[in-house]
Structure 1
């Protein structure tokens, strides 16, 4: 079985909904997508700390191992790479086999490599109410799912069925001993057929641009968004204003434009607009967040998002991830670059 196919002519139609985290099964036996299994999950956050720093942190876990991780301080100059704080490996943080345990509905990780565990402590516990994430004295983070803020994407059909969930969360805790004073984070999970890795599944072929954002306003209410733009006209977009019904759009219902800039032999995006359901949201890059991802052909920026004609948020945190591997250049994907 293979997942290689021509995305430009695939005519893929996703089914997108927004649900509450309390309805999610966080076990490795999660069957919310019939016939699929949860192959990978990603804990992630973009946070500001009291000492004036901006961080990006991501931890990748599977049913049996954790093998990828990055914590880096993002640079406010878009042309300067972030400062790497920790990456996977013997000297930095835990990397190796894990065992998932079920303790009263909370899924916790047991580090199965006792030698590495003695060097690098790690605590990860997932439940419908909260995600606890601690790494030595570097990361002490609590991710709290916002109400009805899980974007659920079901993409059945040839060459292989896939599913994806992204739970958007408020973030608290500390990074490198400094208190988190603001940010947005979450838990993303990739589902695929038995025998196929999520990294080579149909979803991996589709993804090109990802936009995820959270904003808070003077009156305390939250607004969040999640948009994926892929090849062959594929697109998904959700928007949720706290206390209101979420907005959902797919494919031709989503229009997006991305503005790239070139400096020397390096090109990267820095402005974007995403329109769906009668609203337009403008992204403006503020920090380079690429770090190790740059070597994989992934541009990764933090920024702010504001709705055109809407009120200005008190704070906004957004990430734009541009996955260029297996692409024929930056013009691939649902978004049309300008400039």
Structure 2
């Protein structure tokens, strides 16, 4: 599948002689070294691709460079070096007028603090991007109302922003982005200002919309649980650099370094992991031919635990033809719930390691 969005070796440096600073960074200079000289390297050599219809999450602590990176993707900030390509078009080579056209028609942004006009109705706020495009009034009203209905705001079209809760205001911001039918949505900490329950409700709303709309989304967050819930793939940033890109399972099970591992230690693993993450693949190639409960590679961890609780032997993980592709001993489940790597202890019996499950399954 071809990439819809590509970032290639992006740098953003603020301060004196930014081009010289980029060259020094390429030669190994550190961020702190440049900062001591009055230059801030906000993003350093960032590269990634986003496939059509996927949610790409960029996460990191404050000051890691994630919001600066997002603003380079739609030209709000010009990269000091590197390229951004959208559907094969080099956005970094466009003039200001061409870039405004791309932003108004192909790329929409959903902000953290709603950015609604208080003197405009909910409908007028949702239709604002279409108004900028010059869409006739009747069409923009129809499209705005359709987007509001998708976001659960049918019946609120004539209300004012201050009559809405924070979660509802954020839905208006999302509807405004959807009304333009942009191919790419950029979401900058869009749910961070919301209360936890409302925030989870907005995550549910986004995932539900994504099932039908299949937008390409870049989502910025500092919350790892949110990243793992939303992201088809996740980039972890630290001090301006992307230190790891992978699925939620990749980052949780195979962290690139101690920094990423420290991020994941408090994550509820049962909401992320599947059988494919925790199974022992050293015992494979047999067919499960009994009535014992089995799992598939994409069986959620919580269901896998429930299956394991019902049997005395390791759970067999099977493919569509019922062939065993791995087994999950109870000790392995316990290991993955904690800080363990998930490997069975050397003192685990042959039966618990899965050698007998093949005979029974």
TM-score (norm 2): 0.25
Greater helix proportion: 2
Q: Which has the larger radius of gyration?
A: 2
Higher strand share: 1
> Structure 1-normalised TM-score?
0.26
